[in-house]
Every structure is written in structure tokens, then in C-alpha cells.
Chains A and B, each alone.
Chain A
Amino acid sequence: MNAPLHLWLIPLLPFAGFLFNGLLGRKLPKALVTAVALLAPLASFAVVLNATATPYLHVAPRCMPCGPPNWGYITLPYVETCPLGWINVASLHIDFSFVLDQLSLVMLLVVTGVGFLIHVYSAGYMAHEEGYWRYFSYLNLFMFFMTVLVLAGNALLMFVGWEGVGLASYLLIGFYFQKKSAADAGKKAFIVNRIGDFGFLIGIFLLIANFGTLTFTDITAKLDGNPLLQGSAITAIALCLLLGATGKSAQLPLYIWLPDAMEGPTPVSALIHAATMVTAGVYMMARTHVLFDHSPFALSVVAIIGGATALFAATIALVQTDIKRVLAYSTVSQLGYMFLGCGVAAYSAAIFHLVTHAFFKALLFLAAGSVIHGLGGEQDLRKMGGLRKKMPITFAVTTVGVLAISGFWPFAGFYSKDEILFEAYTYGYIGRFVWFMGLLTALLTSFYMFRLWYLAFMGESRSPEIHPHESPWSMRGPLVILALLSIGGGWIWKLGFFDFLAPAVGVPIHHIYVLKADFEYWEMMEHFLSIGAVAVAVLGWYIAHRLYAQKPAEPAQIAAALPTGYKLLANKYYVDEIYGAVIIKPLLAFSKYFLDWVVDVAILGGIAWLLGGIAQLTGALLQRWQSGNIRSYAAWLAAGAAVVLLFVIVQWPAAVTTFFDIHLHGLGN
């Protein structure tokens, strides 16, 4: 018997906070706005913790050899369904149902936990901003939609959350809407995501057409019944879902909105555009993993996209000078890692990297926010330097974040990145290929992160006129907690994360056939690969050290020696320009010349004119009827009476029958 967990409270509490602050916040004192805004996600986090703790509080000790852990009091997946249905059409039934399983539990802990920390940080970071209440109501709205997305038991409810976080993201990117670049960035994010959402929506339609249900557990059950089932329909569905995921998770070719999204406030970049929302694509693929498992082709596409994005974004990050842009491209790159993990069917490794990335990337963004805050809004790395003495705590936590993302032992990033690379290595030819891409990315990651570190914190200040100050404790507190998580977060893998997630995301087939078969070889190989990955990270550090600490003049020389390459990277491969020329310009021209002039003015305008003309003409004719002359009305009355009389007197049925008889007979001859 399951005890009620009240999952519905998890999204609804932030929603209440959103309504309260959104409707009343303008008039209320700041302290009350802050209290409501922070309590809502904290309460959600408490509900999630309760859900997490319940199984452990009430079970007998776990019994490892005898199959899955004995959950006892709560059996996962635990489902809560709204008694009122949502959509009931013919055989299609869609409910408002929330599902708690191992996957959504992990994701919820990250979303509400990291989300709450970032709320706390925001209270300090946004303290002096206009529209404080507006900011927090949007942030709570985001928490609402994100938890709906995570808890959704069917694809349509997930889509609701999916669109909702897109809305919250749009609102928060454009938070400084007086700034044109911010408003434009918000629109860009929204429109690019629309392309991905189109894919997701088509995927949903295909799911209905092929499975007749959108409930994840039903789809899993239907496919698990046929382990060998493959087919173009499943591949099509998987590719459509992948398109949706590339939009939300900023992968090639739809990644272009994420770097621009840095126009929003920095805590938003940390929460939405690094830790939680952008990982929704990875989460969605893990949720629908059975579809991908049944389509090796789609899986390979995922792996290639992930590897390519990881490498591509990392190269751009090498030369960016805006501290937030470096982190943005780094996020795209790390999301590529997660896709790579999904692409080699290592969903638990991908989710693991999602979790650790949420820790260290939120940490890095918040630390960057602390730097920007301390420097009074300066984001250019070239104007920083020497901050380690002025902002010791920010420096310390950034160091932790840099070490974690670069993959140094024993930081969280080491474990997760390593696991993904190892899983890729074991996964056939495509796996080896993306493994190599991943390794190269690791080198670049280590380099550009240490570059940022050296430029911002080491050496002497390059802008002596700015007097940086350390941030308040409301900002330092979350930084320290996230730093601790970035150090220790990797150990959850050692605590049996893989086994824990296995019921929700399955075990890759090659684990059974390849890894179990030659266990000792692969165990040795894993250590070997780990050493290789760390060596690569050290190499990246060494290069950064050499270029930015020992010979600060050299980067400029290298850039001068390779003008084409440098320009290509500095301009982000001109992707925005290419999209502008290939897609946007033709679209605008098509809209203007064809849609506006031909369709709108000529065709639609013509039809409207024609209809109006017909109505006017008819009116002019009928006008004469309404003469106002009583006697003509009386004449019509008499004529009408005569017609009615005729109708009554004549034996219509017989007459009509005769008429038709003659007519049909005539035709017959």
C-alpha cells in the first residue's frame, strides 16, 4: 500500500508563489516578496525530500543480490492521477498524471534543490533591480512548469511543461526588456525553440497514431513486449523527439539561442540555461529511452549530434571574451556530452552528468554572477584579472567549479565525464568515434576553463579603476553549498546510482554481452581511460597556464598567426550569419513578396473585395423591394397567401411523383 506523497504540491506551491507575487508583488514590501518567493520552492524541495526519504524510512535493509531494491512502503513508479480526466476521445485517454520513479526523483531533487539555492542567490543578486517582484514571480513560474515537465506521466503533459519552461525562459531572458538586445534574445530563444517543439509535437502525433497512448509506462510496456521490434515508425518518432530535444537542449543545429540567452540576469542563466531547463531534452530522451533503444539509427544520430555539438561549441568557447559567453558555449558543449551519453544508450551516465553538471555549471554561473556583481556589471574577461585577492570566496568556489568541469579527480565532473567516455568507448565503432570527439572536447574544456580562471582571477588587475567587492552572504552561501556538491557529487555514482536508475532507464544490452563477458579487461580499461581523461585535462591546464600565466603576449601572437581560424572562431563559425542568409532572408523575402503582395493583397484582398461587391450589389437590388409603399407590401402579402393556397390545394406528392416518373422514364429511354 502506497502512502500519499502529495506530488501535486510540488508544482502547485511555486505556482501559488507566482500568482501571489505576480498579482500583488508590485505593491508589497520587498521582504514579503522575497519570503514568498523563497518559501515556495523550499516547500517543494521539502515535499521531494519527503518522497525521497519515505522509502528508506519504512523499508527493511536493501537486499542486493535478490534483484531490485525492496522499496517496501512506496513502490516505484508511484503514480498520482487527477480523478478528472483530461482528454477522452474515442480510444485515446490522457490524464493529468504525475509519476514518481527513480528518474523523476533524481531530476526533481536537482530542479527543486538547485532551484532553491539559486532563488536564495537571486535575492542577493537582484536586490537593487527594478521589477524585483516580477523577477521572482517568473522564477516561481519556471519552477512550476519545470516540475510539471519532470513529473509528467505522459508525453502531452510533459509538452505542457516543456512549452511552459520555454515561456518562462523567454520572459526571463527578456527581463531587461528596455534593452533591445535582451528583447531580441528572448524572441530568438522562443522562435528557435518553436522549431524543436514542432518536432516534439509531430512525435506526439506519431505516438498516438502508432501506439494509441501517450502514457510513458504504456509505451514502455508495449515495446518491452517485443524486444526485437524495430521499424521506420519508431525511428521517425525517435527522430522527431530528438528534434525537440535539440531545440530545448541547444544542440546542433538549434543551439544558436543559448549563447544569446545570456542577456538575461545571471542567476537565470544558471538556473534555466545551465542547470535545469536545457537538460529537459536529455531528460525527455531518458524518459522515452525505449523508443531510442528500438531504433539503432536514431541512437547513432543522437550520439553524432552530441559529439559534434560538444566539440563544436568547445572550439567556439576557446576565444570568447565575455565571461558568460564562455560559460554558455561550455554549457552547449556539456549538453553535447549528455547527448553523447544518451546516444550510446548510457542513459544513467547521461543523467549522472546532468546532475553533476547542474552542480558545477550552476556554481560557475553563480560565481560569474558574483564577479559581475562585484565589478559593477563588467563581463569582459580582458578587463578583469587579479580578483583572487579581492574576492577570495568567489575565487575558491570558481576553482572548484573549474576543476570539476575539467574532470579532475575527485571532483564530480571527473566521475560523470569519465563514465560517459567509458560507455562510449564500449559501444562499437560509432562509440569509439564519439569517444574520440569527447576526449578532444575534454582537452578543449580544460583549456578554456583555465583560460577563464587565469584571465579573471590570476595576475594583476587590468582595470585598476574598478574596485571589486565580495558579494553578500545570500550569494556566497549558495556558492559554497554548490561547491561542496561539485566536490562530492560524484560519489553518488559509487553509491549505486547505476543500479538505482536501472529500473527507470534500463540497462544497455551491450553491458550484458560485452562488459559482463570480459569483466576484468573492461575494468582495467576503465582505469586506463580515466587516466587518459585526466591526462588530457592536465594538458589543457598546462597549455592555459603557459599561454595566460607565463607568456601573456602569446595568445595574441597565435591569433595573429592564424587570422582565418581566429576570425572563424571569434565569429562563432558565422552560424548566425549563415542562418540569416540561408533561412531568414529568403523567408523574409518570401513573406514580403509572396505572402504579403500576392497572397494578402492580391488573393485575400481580392476575395474580400469581391465578397463585399456581391453583398453591395445584392443590397442595391433588394433595396427596391423595401419601398416603404404599404400597397406593395400588401401585394406581396396577397401573392404569398396565393402561393400558400396553391401549395395546400395541389396534390403535391402525386404531382411530384408523376413528374419524376416522366423524367426518369425519359432518361431511361
Chain B
Amino acid sequence: MNSLLSQEVPLSWYLLLSALLFALGIVGFLIKRNLITVFMSIELMLNAVNLSFVTFAQMWHAVKGQIFVFFVMVVAAAEAAVGLAIIIAVFRARATLAVDRIDEMKL
């Protein structure tokens, strides 16, 4: 029986998914007004890149891609911590998270 499940998913699908996620991230980054959504879009792009990293690692049988993913995750975690702290500070100061409104450095 040659069912759909017994077949392996081709690697190019992973890449396509990665590109799709990345594009979604870009679009979200560009069009969303809410700072938290923008931030999530960035996370989405990072994870899209992670997906392509592991895909290529699988494709070339190289472990470097896998290792890089961990680096990205570490950086993303650090970034999330700092970024969310900033967002909270901004919200406390401005009482809004709309990116268009927070276009001045001065409080």
C-alpha cells in the first residue's frame, strides 16, 4: 500500500514552508501597528530561518546547521527578554503600543 503517510515529505517543502513563514513575518512586521505583534513577526522570521537551517543541515548531512539553530534560539530568547522589557517600559510611559505613535525618542 502506498499511502500518502508512508511517503517521506520532500525537503523542498520544508524550504517552501520556511519561505512562506518568513514572508508572513515580513508582511506582519510591515503592516501591523501593535508593537507586540511586530515583535512576534520578528520571532516568526527567526523561526523560519531556523527551519531552513535544519532543512539544509539534513540536506547536506552537515551538523553545522543544527548547531546554528541553537545559537539563534539563544539570541532570540535574550532578545525576547530585553524586547518585552522595553515594550513594558514603553507601555508604562506612553500608555499605548501603536508603533506610529511612539516615533519620538524623547519622553
Contact = CB atoms under 8 A, between A and B. Distances in A.
Does chain A bind chain B? Answer: yes
A631 B103 contact: no
Contacts of B103: 628-630
Contacts of B81: none
B99 A638 contact: no
- Considering residues B26, B99, B100, B103, which has the most beta carbons from chain A within 10 angstroms of its beta carbon? B26
A635 B30 contact: yes
A95 B99 CA distance: 73
A634 interface: yes
B56 interface: no
Contacts of A631: 29-30, 99
A634 B99 contact: no
Contacts of A628: 103
A631 B99 CA distance: 9
Nearest to B103: A628
Interface residues on A, range: under 10
A269 B30 CA distance: 86
Contacts of B30: 631, 634-635, 638
A628 B104 CA distance: 10
Nearest to B38: A631
A629 B104 CA distance: 11
A638 to B, nearest CB: 5
Nearest to A641: B26
A628 B26 CA distance: 19
B99 A630 contact: yes
Interface string B61-103: 0000000000000000000000000000000000000011001
- Considering residues A629, A630, A631, A635, which has the most beta carbons from chain B within 10 angstroms of its beta carbon? A631
Contacts of B100: 629
Interface string B36-55: 00000000000000000000
Interface string A477-512: 000000000000000000000000000000000000
B19 to A, nearest CB: 10
Nearest to A632: B30
Nearest to A631: B30
Contacts of A630: 99, 103
A554 B97 CA distance: 114
Interface in B9-33: 26, 29-30
A630 B30 CA distance: 9
Contacts of A629: 100, 103
A630 B104 CA distance: 12
B88 to A, nearest CB: 20
B101 to A, nearest CB: 12
A119 to B, nearest CB: 75
A628 to B, nearest CB: 7
Contacts of A635: 30
Interface string A606-638: 000000000000000000000011110011001
Nearest to B33: A631
A634 B30 CA distance: 7
A634 B41 CA distance: 13
A630 to B, nearest CB: 7
A638 B103 CA distance: 21
B67 to A, nearest CB: 25
A638 B29 CA distance: 11
7 contacts: A628-B103, A629-B100, A629-B103, A631-B29, A635-B30, A638-B26, A638-B30
Given A628-B103, A634-B30, 5 more contacts: A630-B99, A630-B103, A634-B29, A638-B26, A638-B30
The 9 closest A-B pairs by CB, nearest first: A638-B26, A635-B30, A631-B30, A634-B30, A634-B29, A631-B99, A628-B103, A638-B30, A630-B99
